[in-house]
Amino acid sequence: MEERLFKRKIYTQLLNWKQESDGKSALLVEGARRVGKSTIVETFAKNEYESYLLIDFNKASKAIKDLFNDLMDLDYLFLYLQTAYHVTLKPRKSVIIFDEVQKCPMARQAIKYLVEDGRYDYIETGSLISIKKNTEGITIPSEEDRIQMNPMDFEEFRWALGDEATVPLLRKFWEQQHALGPAHREMARNLRLYMLVGGMPQAINAYLDTNNFSKVDQVKRRILKLYEDDFLKIDPSGRASVMFRSIPGQLSRNAIRYVPYAAVGRVDDEKMTELLKALEDSKTVNMCYHVNDPQVGMGLTKNKDQFKMFVCDTGLFITLAFWDKSFTENIIYEKLLADKLPANLGYVYENLVAQMLVAAGNELFYHTWPRDEKHYYETDFLLSRGAKICPIEVKSSSSKSHASLDEFCRIYSSRILWRYMVYTKDFAKDQETIMLPAYMVPLL
Domain that holds residue 143: 10-148
Residue 360 belongs to a domain: yes
The reply to whether 122 and 239 lie within a common domain is no
Q: Looking at the 3D structure of the chain, how many domains does it have?
A: 2
The confidence score (pLDDT) of residue 288 equals 96
Higher pLDDT, residue 227 or 234: 227
pLDDT digits (tens, 9 = 90+) for 84-98: 999 999 999 999 999
How would residue 371 be classed by pLDDT, with cut points 50, 70 and 90? confident
* Percent of the chain whose pLDDT exceeds 90: 73
The reply to whether 162 and 135 lie within a common domain is no
Residue 388 belongs to a domain: yes
End-of-domain residue from the set 132, 148, 164: 148
The reply to whether 112 and 258 lie within a common domain is no
Residue 361 belongs to a domain: yes
Residue 4 belongs to a domain: no
Residue 264 belongs to a domain: yes
End-of-domain residue from the set 148, 163, 185: 148
The reply to whether 335 and 396 lie within a common domain is yes
Residue 342 belongs to a domain: yes
Question: Mean per-residue pLDDT for 9-33?
Answer: 96
The reply to whether 136 and 278 lie within a common domain is no
pTM of the model: 0.93
The reply to whether 105 and 173 lie within a common domain is no
* Percent of the chain whose pLDDT exceeds 70: 94
The reply to whether 95 and 197 lie within a common domain is no
Residue 269 belongs to a domain: yes
The reply to whether 115 and 175 lie within a common domain is no
Distance between CA atoms of 263 and 253, rounded to whole angstroms? 13
